Amino acid sequence: MAEATPLISNLAAGRRIGVISMHTSPTASLGQNGNGGLNVYVREVANAFSDRGIATDIFTRRQSPDDPAIESLAPLSRVIYLPAGRSLDKYSLYEEVPAFAAGIRAFAEREHLTYDMLYSHYWLSGEVACLLRADMGIAWAHTAHTLGLVKNRTLASGAKPEPALRIQVEGEIARQADLLIGSTPDEADDLIRLYGADPDRVHVVAPGIDLVTFQPFDRAEARRKIGYGPGRLLLFVGRLERLKGVDVAIRALALLRDRDHADLRLIVLGEDVRDGDESEKERLKAVASASGVRDRVDFLGTVAHHELPYFYAAADVCVMPSYSESFGLVALEAQACGRPVVASGVSGLRSVVRDEVSGYLIADHDPAIYAERIGRLLSDPELAQQMGKRGRLLAQRFSWTRTADRLGNLFEGAIESTQARVQTGVRHE
Ligand code: UDP
């Protein structure tokens, strides 16, 4: 894996980057369908680039007739909505890749624009970049956000495995992109070991957090804001799909209620991911009923990103029992708000939560172990407060400015070496 880059961005002001986010938009409402960490990442990096004089055109799909053709995100960042496969699921969207790539090419020609770099997010967009790079002859960086082979290694029971098509496309991207950006050292290793990526092209750049929005608030005040009184609260935030393991949190709640924590409630924020006929929310409601805690689990739907700090601050413990997570922004946000996190020990969460320091990491998905660790925090408010304080300190190491600076450094290097290659007539392999 390539060495870490210095902190200050060398990406020259005036550069223009074509960002590809085909399956989901940075303006989408979060916590439902496929909308979550990736959307936040694309939006925040574009904002930070704009502050540095670097322009981004973010290409996404038109998903509703109300979507404008172009929307401004920041002074130098805009979202361009292209008509391609409005209501198709992720795997059918693959068929739309050539049309989407053609749409980007046509837009650039119409506007007389040349991009210095392509930056794709997730495998579908990586395939778009793969097509475009062949004739644009420019540098290309890719962030996978999640990897099919990694997800398939630790599937929740009943979850559908990622199909061979995705894994094959991810392999092609790993072989061809100039820069592969992993969010954690584990993800970078996976790109090298599982997908055969060249270690010199693989770099680790951690995502960031907005520490002004996500900061500690008074708990009582936060509870008033969200309409809750006293009584202990657990919080889950995220897209509702099996991968997130919300049923483990519900079962842990049932165990805790049988002990000393009769007043305990679980708030679940987020909505179903549309994936066939199954509704994870309905399944979770059934789990809660069967566990005797249906009246103690509040499914509140999605909440706007800027309102989430009140929910984190109102909670006693944030729970994240994911089966796989490439990073885990929710855990970082909870820590930034000074709340302890009880999470699964998957690699993305290990890079955010420190076991016994800012919360607990749990190796498997046994609700009894979750109940025991949550119980420790509920019974010892001082311990919970200490862990919350340490979590805030850990969160202060992350910022979107730093993420953009590290990316900028890598991008400038890739742009310069691609330009040198083009000048000497060497094409990408
Ligand atoms: N989120 C939100 N409102 C919701 C649910 C989620 O704003 O109702 C945001 C959450 O704050 C976080 C992101 O969606 O920034 C989820 O990111 P995470 O990395 O935890 O999960 P992913 O979606 O990448 O699996």
pLDDT reading at 407 higher than 60: yes
pLDDT reading at 303 higher than 60: yes
**Average pLDDT value for residue range 167-195:** 97
pLDDT reading at 285 higher than 80: yes
Tokens 């305990």 sit on residue? 264
**Average pLDDT value for residue range 84-89:** 71
Q: Which ligand 1 atom is nearest residue 244's CA?
A: 25
Tokens of 157: 């029971």
Q: pLDDT tens, 33-69?
A: 778 899 999 999 999 999 999 999 999 998 887 778 9
Q: Kindly give the distance from the C-alpha atom of residue 30 to the centroid of ligand 1, in angstroms, as a whole number.
A: 6
Q: Kindly give the distance from the C-alpha atom of residue 216 to the centroid of ligand 1, in angstroms, as a whole number.
A: 18
Q: Which ligand 1 atom is nearest residue 348's CA?
A: 19
pTM of the model: 0.94
Q: Kindly give the distance from the C-alpha atom of residue 316 to the centroid of ligand 1, in angstroms, as a whole number.
A: 19
Could you tell me what percent of the chain has a pLDDT over 90?
A: 80
pLDDT at residue 391, rounded to an integer: 98
Residue 396, number of CB atoms within 10 A of its CB: 12
What residue owns the CA closest to ligand 1's atom 6? 31
Query: Do 267 and 311 touch, CB atoms closer than 8 A?
Result: yes
pLDDT at residue 422, rounded to an integer: 76
pLDDT reading at 361 higher than 90: yes
Q: Kindly give the distance from the C-alpha atom of residue 219 to the centroid of ligand 1, in angstroms, as a whole number.
A: 21
Test site for ligand 1: of 281, 302, 330, most ligand atoms within 8 A of the Cβ: 330
pLDDT at residue 267, rounded to an integer: 98
Question: Domains in the chain, please, with CATH?
Answer: 16-208+399-424 (3.40.50.2000), 219-395 (3.40.50.2000)
Which uninterrupted H or E stretch holds 77? strand 77-82
Ligand 1 surroundings by CB, under 6 angstroms: 30-31, 36-38, 40, 237-239, 269-270, 302-303, 305, 308, 327-330, 333
**Average pLDDT value for residue range 321-335:** 96
Q: pLDDT tens, 246-284?
A: 999 999 999 998 777 889 999 999 998 876 668 999 999
Q: Which ligand 1 atom is nearest residue 243's CA?
A: 25
Q: Kindly give the distance from the C-alpha atom of residue 236 to the centroid of ligand 1, in angstroms, as a whole number.
A: 10
Q: What contacts 325, CB < 8 A, 6 or more positions away? A: 344, 346, 347, 348, 349
How do the residues of the chain divide into helix, strand and coil, expressed in percent and rounded to 5?
45, 15, 40
Q: Kindly give the distance from the C-alpha atom of residue 85 to the centroid of ligand 1, in angstroms, as a whole number.
A: 24
Please name the amino acid found at residue 111: E
Q: Kindly give the distance from the C-alpha atom of residue 238 to the centroid of ligand 1, in angstroms, as a whole number.
A: 5
- pLDDT-derived band at 103 (thresholds 50, 70, 90) equals very high
Mind giving me the DSSP string for 274-300? --TT--HHHHHHHHHHHTT-GGGEEEE
Q: Kindly give the distance from the C-alpha atom of residue 98 to the centroid of ligand 1, in angstroms, as a whole number.
A: 29
pLDDT at residue 426, rounded to an integer: 64
Poorest-pLDDT segment among 73-87, 204-218, 292-306, 319-333: 73-87
Test site for ligand 1: of 23, 30, 210, 344, most ligand atoms within 8 A of the Cβ: 30
Query: Do 328 and 349 touch, CB atoms closer than 8 A?
Result: yes
What residue owns the CA closest to ligand 1's atom 17? 37
What residue owns the CA closest to ligand 1's atom 4? 31
Tokens 């995705």 sit on residue? 166
Considering only residues 284 and 27, tell me which one the structure prediction assigns the higher pLDDT.
284
Query: Do 184 and 328 touch, CB atoms closer than 8 A?
Result: no
3-class SS of residue 179: strand
Q: Tell me how far apart the alpha carbons of residues 171 and 105 are, in angstroms, rounded to a whole number.
A: 24
Q: pLDDT tens, 366-395?
A: 999 999 999 999 999 999 999 999 999 999
pLDDT reading at 224 higher than 90: yes
Mind giving me the DSSP string for 206-274? -----TTTS----HHHHHHHHT--SS-EEEEES-BSGGG-HHHHHHHHHHHHHTT-TT-EEEEE--B--
Q: Which ligand 1 atom is nearest residue 305's CA?
A: 7
What residue owns the CA closest to ligand 1's atom 8? 302
Test site for ligand 1: of 40, 143, 322, most ligand atoms within 8 A of the Cβ: 40
In degrees and rounded to multiples of 5, residue 216 shows phi and psi of: -65, 140
pLDDT, the chain, mean: 92
**Average pLDDT value for residue range 127-136:** 93
pLDDT at residue 6, rounded to an integer: 46
- pLDDT-derived band at 116 (thresholds 50, 70, 90) equals very high
Q: Tell me how far apart the alpha carbons of residues 55 and 48 are, in angstroms, rounded to a whole number.
A: 10
Tokens 């910022």 sit on residue? 399
**Average pLDDT value for residue range 161-170:** 95
Q: Tell me how far apart the alpha carbons of residues 315 and 309 are, in angstroms, rounded to a whole number.
A: 10
Burial 18-50 (b: 16+ CB within 10 A, else e): bbbbbbbbbbbebbbbbbbbbbbbbbbbbbbbb
Which residue in 138, 2, 199 sits closest to 418, CA to CA?
138
Q: Tell me how far apart the alpha carbons of residues 416 and 413 are, in angstroms, rounded to a whole number.
A: 5
Q: Kindly give the distance from the C-alpha atom of residue 119 to the centroid of ligand 1, in angstroms, as a whole number.
A: 21
3-class SS of residue 192: helix
Question: Strands 77-82 and 70-74, how do they pair?
Answer: antiparallel
Q: Kindly give the distance from the C-alpha atom of residue 302 to the centroid of ligand 1, in angstroms, as a whole number.
A: 10
